Chains A and B, each alone.
Chain A
Amino acid sequence: MREFRYERATDAASAVALLAAEPEGAFLGGGTNLVDLMKLGVATPDLLVDVRRLTSAEVTDLPDGGLRIGAAVPNADLAADRRVRERFPVLSQALLAGASGQLRNRATTGGNLLQRTRCGYFTDVTRPCNKRSPGSGCGALEGVHRNHAILGQTLEGPGTCVATHPSDMAVALTALDAVVRVLGPDGEREVPIVELHRLPGDDASRDTTLRHGELITAIDLPALGMPSRYRKVRDRASFAFALVSIAAAVQVTDGMVADVRLALGGVAHKPWRATAAEEALRGRPATEESFAAAAEAELAAATPLRDNGFKVPLARNLVVRTLLQLTEGSR
C-alpha cells in the first residue's frame, strides 16, 4: 500500500479545502471499499481526509414528509430508521439486501454512493481495465462477464467498459428521485441522483460527475406517498452482488397506473432509471400485459454480451413480478 497522510479536518469546509489542494488525495468515509482498493493497489491516495465525523450522522425530517440523510449515516442505521421503514421501504430493503451486517455498520451513505465497481478486471492490477488504467483496454469485454452490464456500455474505443455499479442503495435512491447535496471548493450545489453517476462514454475512469474535492454532505428524499419495494436476484441468498435488482414504486387508481418509478441495478455502469418503461406504464391499465410491454420497451435497448444474455429475460420477469406484487389488491 502506498504511504499516505491521514487528516481529520475540523469541519466539512476545511476537509474540502484540504483535499482540493491535494490532487491525489481522497476522502475516507467508512473505508469498507476504499481500504480494500488500497490493499489491492487499485486506489493509491497520498492523503486521506477522514470525513466520518464531519458530515451529519443523523436522519432528519423535511417539511413535506421527505427526509434528509446525513452523508455519515451508517447503512445499518439508515436501513433500521423507522421513518425509512415506514415511508420508503424500498430503501430499507435495498440496504438490507447489500453486503453483510459488519459492512453495513461501518459503511456510510455518502460512501455507498461512491463505491467502485467489483468487476474482477478493475480490482486486479495485472489485467487491462480502462476504468483503472485508461487506454489499457477492457478485459471483461471478451473475458469473464457473466455479471456485467447489458445496457449503456461502451463497446469500442478507449472508453470501452462493461462494468456495473455495485450499490443496491443507489438503485433505490434513483427510483426515489433523491437529491445529493454536495460541498465543493466553490460552495454548495444539489445534484439529482440520476446526474450523479455516469455511463462510461469515452472515459470509463470517471464513475460520477463530482469534481475532485467535492464532498457529499447529505441526501434529500422527497416524499413518496405510494407503495414501494426492492427485489434483488443473486447467486447466493445473502452477501452477494445483484445479477439484476429492481427498485419500484407504483400508484394504481381505478385500475390504471397513476404514477410509477422504476430503477434497475446490476444492468449498467450506473443505477438505471427505467424511463422508457415508466413512460409506457403511465395512464395504462395495471395488468400483467402492460407490465410486460413496459419491461420490453425498456429492454429493447439492451446489448447483452456473450455470457450475460440471461439478464435480459431476468430483468423483464423481475419488472413484471415486482409490479404484480406491488399492485396486488389495487389492480
Chain B
Amino acid sequence: MDTEITLLVDGERHPLVVDTRTTLLDALRERLRITSPKKGCDHGQCGACTVLVDGRRVNSCLVLAVTVDDAEVTTSDGLAAEGEHPLHRAFLDNDAFQCGYCTPGQVCSAAGVLAEAKAGWPSTVTDDLTAEDVDLTDDEIRDRMSGNLCRCAAYAHIVPAVAAVAEAEGVRR
C-alpha cells in the first residue's frame, strides 16, 4: 500500500512514495542510494544497518520507513558536518576493520554509545547504577557495542578506536 513520506537524511530532504512494508534500511539503500547502512542479518541481530534516528542509534532494518517521516536520520556519512568524524579517524588510526562491511554500523553505534555515556546512562556491566558519570572502560565499550557484530573479528581494534574518542570527549578516565 503506497504512502507518501519525506525522509530527512544527513540534512537533506527526500520526498518519497513507499510501500508501507519498506524498512528504513531498504528506503535508504534502494530508493535513495544511500548505501553506508548495510544489510547484514535484516533481523536486528548484527547491527550493520545501525543509523541514528533523532540522535539515537537504532537498527534501521526493523524500523518501517513510514514511522520516521518526521524524524532526522543520520548515517555514518552524515556524522560530521563535513569531512571525517573523530570516530572515522579513530577507526582508521586503530585499523579497526578488515572487510569494512560492518564499519558504518559500528561507527554509528559508537556515536550512540558516546552520546549515551555523556547522558550518564549505565550499562549491564556498570557496578554503581546510581553513579553520575560514566567511565567507558574496555568492558563498558564491549558491552555497549555488543549489538554490532564483526565477522572479521576486528573487535580487538574496535575497542581501542572507540576508547580513543571516548577519552578525547571526556567519558573515559
Report A's interface with B, CB cutoff 8 A: 1, 3-6, 28, 31-32, 35-36, 38-39, 48, 50, 52, 76, 79-80, 82, 85-86, 89, 92-93, 96-97, 99-103, 105-106, 237-239
Task: Please pick, from B112, B120, B122, B145, the residue contacting A92 in the complex, using a CB distance under 8 A.
Answer: B122
Nearest A residue to B43 by beta-carbon distance? A36
- CB A94 to nearest CB in B, in angstroms, measures 10
Nearest A residue to B51 by beta-carbon distance? A102
- With A85-B129, A101-B57 already in contact, the answer to whether A4 and B112 are too (CB < 8 A) is no
Cβ of A28: which chain B residues have Cβ within 8 Å of it?
Answer: 64, 67
- With A3-B20, A5-B1 already in contact, the answer to whether A106 and B121 are too (CB < 8 A) is no
Give Cα A99–Cα B50 distance, bound, in whole angstroms.
14
What are 12 A-to-B residue pairs whose CB atoms are below 8 Å? A28-B64, A36-B43, A79-B122, A96-B126, A97-B124, A100-B147, A100-B148, A101-B116, A102-B59, A106-B53, A238-B143, A239-B147
Contacts A28-B64, A92-B129, A97-B124 supplied; 4 other A-B pairs, CB < 8 Å: A4-B20, A5-B20, A32-B59, A101-B116
Nearest B residue to A96 by beta-carbon distance? B124
Cβ of B47: which chain A residues have Cβ within 8 Å of it?
Answer: 100, 102
Cβ–Cβ contact A101 & B21, under 8 A:
no
Number of B interface residues in the complex (CB < 8 A): 41
Task: Please pick, from A3, A39, A79, A85, the residue contacting B130 in the complex, using a CB distance under 8 A.
Answer: A85
Cβ of A93: which chain B residues have Cβ within 8 Å of it?
Answer: 124, 129
Give Cα A31–Cα B142 distance, bound, in whole angstroms.
26
B119 within 8 A of A: yes
B161 within 8 A of A: no
- With A3-B20, A35-B62, A79-B122 already in contact, the answer to whether A103 and B44 are too (CB < 8 A) is yes
- CB B80 to nearest CB in A, in angstroms, measures 21
B94 within 8 A of A: no
Task: Please pick, from B19, B59, B120, B121, the residue contacting A103 in the complex, using a CB distance under 8 A.
Answer: B59
**Which of B3, B62, B113, B148 has the most chain A CB within a 10 Å cutoff?**
B62
- With A4-B1, A80-B121, A96-B124 already in contact, the answer to whether A32 and B44 are too (CB < 8 A) is yes
